[in-house]
Amino acid sequence: MPEKVQIQYDALVLGGGIAGMQAALDLAEQGYTVALVERTETIGGNMIKLSKVFPTLDCASCITTPKMAAVAHHRNITLMTLCELRGVGGAAGDFEVKVRQQPRYVDTDRCIGCMKCEMGCPILAPSREQHGFAGRKAIYVPFASAIPQVPRLDAESCTLCGKCAGLCPTGAIDYFQKPRDLKIRTKALVLATGYKLLRDYPARAWGEAADQPNLVDALQMECLLAPAGPYKRLLRPSDGKEPESVAFIQCAGSRDTQLGVRHCSRVCCMYNIKQATLLKREHPGMRLAIYCMDVRCFGKGYEQFYRNALEMGVEFVRSKGVVTGRSDDDGVIVRHDDMEGSGGPRLDTFDMGVLSLAIVPAWTPDGLAPVRVAEDGFLASRQPKLSSTLTSSEGVFMAGVAAGPKDIVDTVVEAGAAASEAGIFLKGLQAGRQRAA
Ligand SMILES: Cc1cc2nc3c(=O)[nH]c(=O)nc-3n(C[C@H](O)[C@H](O)[C@H](O)COP(=O)(O)OP(=O)(O)OC[C@H]3O[C@@H](n4cnc5c(N)ncnc54)[C@H](O)[C@@H]3O)c2cc1C
Ligand code: SF4
Ligand code: SF4
């Protein structure tokens, strides 16, 4: 039986990406106690895995890491990792949230972060953070700036050889840790559970596409381009060769009413331009073609960013019905309907391809939380015209991509707004209690 623990906070923020971290920090700065609940072993979300950010090309981890540290050190924030929501009971002002914490197999209070366990572990398994392009040990910290800086033992790849426990100077390794059920009483909830990519789309749409080693998705490309990426430069996963040409295929699952999703994922135009720009700067001779129905540059400085890419020689191919195949030398064949020329089908071959897969919610309430979802699957707003952060339930707020696809700038603004709405709600509760007393 999992151990049961009960705790109480003013607000519980679900999801430790940039939206959840910002909302937690803003609430904590207002003097409220906050539980930040994250289901993986570290906070940082998708943003910490990006290479650089459009349109400024700032390093993504240089912006995210200080936020992660601020969360970890704020006295009003309690960080809970490896925690999954099991249910929400009660009502606005007094929710009872059930959370199950999966074992880390390392005692966080005892661990001093010396990494002797990781260095001594003989087992290498594919790294989820590096999309399987690189390995990690069976006991590992997922990346250098992960928070908390406490390793996690992956029970599936561990052989229980006992080396790590023998090397640990503080006796922190506990092979017998069990899941813990936590009951958290909270007055308000902020849902910031973010997104994932619609990864089964190519298989459903194109069949063969799933077997192409050099056709990667956009988050895999971010990983390959990141300063801490597996090869430190762009190399083809199949043979380690430097590609001379890369095709970017947009709306792979977005704006596709038959096999994908109806909505526009909003950021793909811009991140494809970013990825192509980063490559062009390093390799001016590389052929880079973006296959798109149109280019949506909605934010400040975005249009200029697009024009700069055009001037650098990035090709924009107006196209529909893009299908890919594998060439004899593991290149990516792109077939599309030419929207500007004859309108007929055209074929082209590239060393690598990138699919801009649709952005879909990472989590949906499925009866676990008292909130509605909209037609597109993201959390629904109670007052879409007045506030994007009010869910269908009083006392429950939302922020970031959990509420719909958006870029980092809009995510951070929305997280601030959610914290502000939640703060007003909490103040209202206090005032009501004072009047009643
Ligand atoms: C390929 C790509 C490149 C991009 N490049 C840029 C860019 O250059 N510039 C830009 O502005 N935007 C970019 N974006 C968009 C950017 O990634 C998002 O705007 C931003 O990361 C959204 O943050 P978030 O906190 O809402 O979600 P996420 O980063 O997804 O964070 C959500 C967090 O919640 C956790 N979580 C999920 N479900 C649960 C649950 N049930 N319980 C507990 N925790 C949970 C997740 O583990 C995660 O840590 C890019 C997107 C993609 C796909
Ligand atoms: S017990 Fe598991 S985690 Fe520890 S060193 Fe052996 S294989 Fe690695
Ligand atoms: S060896 Fe022990 S103290 Fe050092 S990082 Fe591993 S678990 Fe922590």
Of all protein residues, whose CA lies closest to atom 2 belonging to ligand 2? 158
pLDDT at 4: 63
Distance between CA 28 and CA 22 in Å, rounded?
10
- What is the predicted pLDDT for the residue at 340? 77
In 3D space, the residue among 15, 409, 62, 407 whose CA is nearest the CA of residue 228 turns out to be: 62
The whole-angstrom separation of Cα 258 and Cα 239 is 35
Which residue among 308, 342, 358 closes a domain? 358
The pLDDT score that the predictor gives to residue 2 is 65
How far does residue 146's CA lie from ligand 3's centre (Å)? 15
Do 327 and 206 belong together in one domain? yes
CA atoms of 303 and 306, how far apart (whole Å) = 5
Decide if pLDDT at 46 tops 70. Answer: yes
Could you say which ligand is closest to the alpha carbon of residue 45? 1
Using a 6 Å cutoff on CB, does residue 148 contact ligand 3? no
List 37's β-bridge partners, or say none.
14, 80
The tokens describing 156, both together, are 């599936």
- Whose CA is closest to atom 37 on ligand 1? 193
Structure confidence at residue 1 (pLDDT): 60
Q: Do both 139 and 214 map to the same domain?
A: no
| Closest residue CA from atom 3 of ligand 3 | 111
Residues 311 and 406 occupy one common structural domain: no
Tokens of 355: 């699919």
Q: Of the given ranges (64-78, 203-217, 350-364), which has the lowest mean pLDDT?
A: 203-217
Does any ligand 2 atom lie closer than 6 A to the CB of residue 123?
A: yes
pLDDT in tens, 48-78: 999 999 999 999 999 999 999 999 999 999 9
Residue 171 CA, ligand 2 centroid: distance in Å: 14
Same domain, 228 and 347: yes
Q: 152 C-alpha to center of ligand 2: Å?
A: 11
pLDDT at 20 over 90: yes
Q: Provide mean pLDDT across the span 371-385.
A: 93
171 and 183 in a single domain? The answer is no
- 187 close to 140: Cβ distance less than 8 angstroms: no
User: What is the CATH number for 67?
Assistant: 3.50.50.60
- Convert the pLDDT of each residue in 90-115 to its tens digit: 999 999 999 999 999 999 999 999 99
Question: What's the CA-to-centroid distance between 171 and ligand 3, angstroms?
Answer: 8
Same structural domain for residues 119 and 64? no
Instruction: Read off the DSSP letter of residue 121.
Output: -
Q: Closest residue (by CA) to atom 7 of ligand 2? A: 158
Domain of residue 240, residue span? 198-358
How far is residue 291's CA from residue 284's CA, in Å, rounded to a whole number?
Answer: 19
Secondary structure string (H, E, C) spanning 305-333:
HHHHHHHHCCEEEEEEEEEEEECCCCCEE
Q: Are residues 212 and 350 in the same domain?
A: yes
Distance CA 388, CA 381 (A): 6
CA of 165 to the centre of ligand 2 (A): 8
Residue 205: the pLDDT is: 72
pLDDT of residue 221: 97
In DSSP notation, 362-424 reads S---TTSSS--B-TTSSBPPSBTTTBSSB-SSTTEEE-GGGGS---HHHHHHHHHHHHHHHHH
pLDDT of residue 6: 65
Q: Which of 175, 209, 227 is the last residue of a domain?
A: 175
pLDDT of residue 344 exceeding 90, the answer is no
The reply to whether 399 and 425 lie within a common domain is yes
Write the CATH number for 128: 3.30.70
66 lines ligand 3 (CB under 6 A): no
Mean pLDDT of 27-50: 98
Q: Is the pLDDT of residue 204 over 80?
A: no
Per-residue pLDDT, averaged over 309-314, amounts to: 97
Asked if pLDDT for residue 228 goes beyond 90, the answer is no
Q: How confident is the model at residue 208 (pLDDT cuts 50, 70, 90)?
A: low
Helix (H) or strand (E) holding 80: strand 77-80
Q: Is 115 exposed, middle or buried (0-12, 13-18, 19+ CB in 10 A)?
A: middle
Specify the pTM.
0.96
Q: Are 191 and 23 in contact (CB under 8 A)?
A: no
Span 113-163, pLDDT tens digits? 999 999 999 999 999 989 989 999 999 999 999 999 999 999 999 999 999
Quote the pLDDT of residue 363.
97
Give residue 3's identity as a one-letter amino acid code.
E
Query: Is the same domain home to 311 and 202?
Result: yes
C-beta of 160 in contact with ligand 2 (< 6 A): yes
Assess whether 255 and 161 both reside in one domain: no
Q: What percent of the chain shows pLDDT beyond 70?
A: 97
Summarize the confidence of residues 257-278 as an average pLDDT: 94
User: Measured between alpha carbons, how far is 175 from 433 in angstroms, rounded to an integer?
Assistant: 47
How many domains does the chain contain in total? 3
* pLDDT surpasses 90 at 287: yes
Q: Kindly state whether residues 125 and 168 are assigned to the same domain.
A: yes
State how beta strands 77-80 and 34-37 pair: parallel
**pLDDT higher than 70, residue 80:** yes
153 lines ligand 3 (CB under 6 A): no
SS3 at position 251? strand
pLDDT of 321 above 80: no
Same domain, 366 and 354: no
Q: Does the pLDDT of residue 343 top 90, yes or no?
A: no
